[in-house]
Amino acid sequence: MRELPLEAPDFATIRQLGDYYADKTQFLYHIARRPTTCFLSRPRRFGKTFLLSTLKYLLEGRRDLFKGLWIDKSDYNWTPYPVIKLEMNTVIANNAAVMEKRLSNLLLSLVRQEEKKEEKEKEAKAAKEKEEKEKKGEKEEKWEKEAKAAKEKEEKAAREKEKLNWITPGDILIWLISHLYENSGQKVAILIDEYDAPIVKHIINPPKAEEFREALNDFYAMLKTNIEKIGHIFITGVSRFTKTSIFSKLNNLKDITFNERYAAICGLTEADLDDLLSDREDQTLAAFIEKGVMLPGSDGADLRNLIRDWYDGYSWDGKTRVYNPWSHLSCLDDAEISDYWYDSGTPSFLVDLGLEGKVKFDWLKDIPNITKSKNVIDKIEKIPPEVLLFQTGYLTVKETLPKLGALKNYRLDFPNLEVRAALIPLSLSITPPENAHLASGLATRLRDSLFSLDAKGLEEAFSQYLAQFPYDDSLELESHFSTLLQSALMMAKQEFNTQEHSLHGRLDIHLTSPKGDEHIIELKVYREKKPETGSLGPPKNEEEKAKLLKAMAPSAQRALNQITTYYADKFTGGPNRVVLTALVIARRNVILAKFKVLEGKLT
């Protein structure tokens, strides 16, 4: 059984170990076969770094690593090119000066690698020449050795003198490009991974982000000065900042983010899932059942459906769907359903925006469409929410809509349950649940119990759902519990309205069931006198819980009366039932649910 490549971002390592590899070489063929300048935007943890690692070895002509893959059977010519690969997430810093220092160190390490490589090549060449002379019975004269040593010393001194002129990272980059070009006789390939990482790190602080953008402008502009010595340029990132010199200085830059040909260049396809499960399906299914993730009797189709619901659904053309590779592989490795991507790949700025209420829940109920031209960031301080969430992977293209003039138009939505479970709480300014898979299942059970008028099921599901979220006494407000109920309904993909106006006030939540029943929900918090020290914990036994529920009953009746008196008349008189629901919460997650059904007009 092939190992899953969770912690190996290097293509050569995976191929040498024989680990699982989803063949992406048919996409790279079109990029590598002739000099191109491309930009690709994909979210974090989506395989961009590994893609560039693969492209690096391909451009270096390492055919031995590609045996058996698609490109090995193609007409690709395998010409080796010198490659400069920069991983910009390694130079992130708190100020631009430190970032530039780290970038200089990164480039200097590449210079040292090149010098060591050249030194080894010279030594190998000298050893070969010596061996050939010895075979011929010739000896190297002393003066020849001294002349060679003097020449090498002179070349080294000249190189060190050139280094004294290096002031900025751009100076080092220019020298490195020229040196590689002159030594190899081939144009240099430039691969830049996460070009925007230093900017995105500070996106919530526009002045700071702008400082990094200006510093990177100067560096990336150096590519233009040496463009005649550069062949391939491939750049990845999360966001496209229009005022960054990569986009303003480079001619003929092709943005392949929405290009249908490259829709599956990152991520795993349905065929990849079949390939992955070909030698591990039975073992994975058994582990899922043993851990209670799936019910006994589940089969391979059930397993695929579960993984698909949680991790599939990403698209950049509205047609091709791909799985999040990190979550997909982690799920199979752990035999668990969890929010792997949120835990490992969510930018802290997005969490901050959500908890500060800047990514609004009401907005998520009616997500705007996006055009290709809108998927750029001009002013850092005015980033459209749909652009931010799309670029960071919380929204994806669901379908391609009719064009707006000459521009392609896309409908956005949540890609899958993993993202839905993470983003919905953030949009409501609450911390995500501790177990997203369990919370999602409880949300569905809550919705179904509500529509079937199962009071006990609703009480249990809502109580267990609340237990998935961090809590403190200061949050014991009706608005907080209303927010959590809204998050459950959103996780269950149930449409609803909040704070609807009537002649007598605003109701809490209104929704319509698939059968057409109108449901009106009113929440109340039952407040007991707290002890002088400590806090009220959960009931110690069933007798104490029954006593508490009895004390909560009048609050439930008042909630039903409130709906009947002030809100219900807006919905009665039609052919469908009107269902009034009172939900009373005590001691964080002790729930009492009461229903009242109105048939037709009020009397």
Whether the per-residue pLDDT at 308 is higher than 90: the answer is yes
Residue 19: predicted pLDDT: 92
3-state SS of the chain: helix, strand, coil percent to 5?
50, 15, 35
Whether the per-residue pLDDT at 351 is higher than 70: the answer is no
Whether the per-residue pLDDT at 130 is higher than 60: the answer is yes
- What's this model's pTM, rounded to 2 decimal places? 0.79
3-state SS class at 194: coil
* Residue 355, number of CB atoms within 10 A of its CB: 15
Segment 72-80 shows an average pLDDT of: 96
Residue 503: predicted pLDDT: 65
* Backbone angle region of 297, left / alpha / beta, with phi > 0 → left and psi within -120 to 50 → alpha: left
Q: Among residues of the chain, what percentage have pLDDT more than 90?
A: 48
CB 578 within 8 A of CB 597: yes
Segment 12-26 shows an average pLDDT of: 94
Cα-to-chain-centroid distance, residue 582: 39
Residue 355: predicted pLDDT: 46
Whether the per-residue pLDDT at 426 is higher than 80: the answer is no
* Most confident listed range (53-57, 297-301, 325-329): 53-57
Tokens of residue 375, six digits: 């998927």
Q: How does the average pLDDT of the chain come out, rounded? A: 85
Segment 414-429 shows an average pLDDT of: 78
Q: pLDDT for 134-158, tens place per residue?
A: 777 766 666 666 666 667 766 766 6
Q: pLDDT for 205-220, tens place per residue?
A: 888 888 998 899 889 9
Could you give the C-alpha distances from 558 to 22, 498, 511, 522, 523, in angstroms and in order? 60, 20, 21, 10, 11
37-41 and 230-237 as β-strands: parallel, antiparallel, unpaired?
parallel
Residue 380: predicted pLDDT: 65
Residue 233: predicted pLDDT: 95
Whether the per-residue pLDDT at 129 is higher than 90: the answer is no
Whether the per-residue pLDDT at 166 is higher than 70: the answer is yes
Segment 365-381 shows an average pLDDT of: 67
Whether the per-residue pLDDT at 1 is higher than 50: the answer is yes
Going by pLDDT thresholds of 50, 70 and 90, the confidence category of residue 602 is: very low
Q: pLDDT for 312-346, tens place per residue?
A: 999 999 999 999 999 999 999 998 888 888 776 55
Whether the per-residue pLDDT at 450 is higher than 50: the answer is yes
Residue 302: predicted pLDDT: 92
Going by pLDDT thresholds of 50, 70 and 90, the confidence category of residue 81 is: very high
Whether the per-residue pLDDT at 263 is higher than 50: the answer is yes
Residue 392: predicted pLDDT: 85
Tokens of residue 273, six digits: 């899932």
Reference 80, options 242, 231, 253, 206; nearest CA is 231
370-371 and 407-413 as β-strands: parallel, antiparallel, unpaired?
antiparallel
Segment 280-295 shows an average pLDDT of: 90
DSSP codes joined into one string, 488-553: HHHHTT---EES-EETTEE-SEEEE-TT--EEEEEEEE--PPPPSSS---S-SSHHHHHHHHHHHH
Whether the per-residue pLDDT at 294 is higher than 80: the answer is yes
More confident: 599 or 413: 413
Q: pLDDT for 244-262, tens place per residue?
A: 667 766 777 899 999 999 9
* Most confident listed range (44-48, 73-77, 390-394, 573-577): 73-77
Q: Among 318-332, 444-458, 461-475, name the one with the lowest average pLDDT.
A: 461-475
Whether the per-residue pLDDT at 191 is higher than 90: the answer is yes
Whether the per-residue pLDDT at 419 is higher than 90: the answer is no
Whether the per-residue pLDDT at 406 is higher than 50: the answer is yes
What are the residues whose beta carbons fall under 8 Å from the beta carbon of 573, sequence distance 6 or more?
Answer: 600, 601
Whether the per-residue pLDDT at 194 is higher than 60: the answer is yes
What are the residues whose beta carbons fall under 8 Å from the beta carbon of 277, sequence distance 6 or more?
Answer: 284, 300, 303, 304, 332
Q: pLDDT for 505-548, tens place per residue?
A: 788 899 999 988 999 999 999 988 776 666 667 788 889 889 99
- Provide the 8-state DSSP code for 323: B
Residue 601: predicted pLDDT: 47
More confident: 272 or 203: 272
Whether the per-residue pLDDT at 383 is higher than 70: the answer is yes
Whether the per-residue pLDDT at 397 is higher than 60: the answer is yes
CB 408 within 8 A of CB 258: yes
Whether the per-residue pLDDT at 375 is higher than 80: the answer is no
DSSP codes joined into one string, 44-94: TTSSHHHHHHHHHHHHTT-GGGGTTSGGGGS--------EEEEEGGGS--S
Whether the per-residue pLDDT at 271 is higher than 90: the answer is yes
* Residue 293 to residue 121: CA distance in whole angstroms: 56
Residue 145: predicted pLDDT: 66
CB 213 within 8 A of CB 243: yes
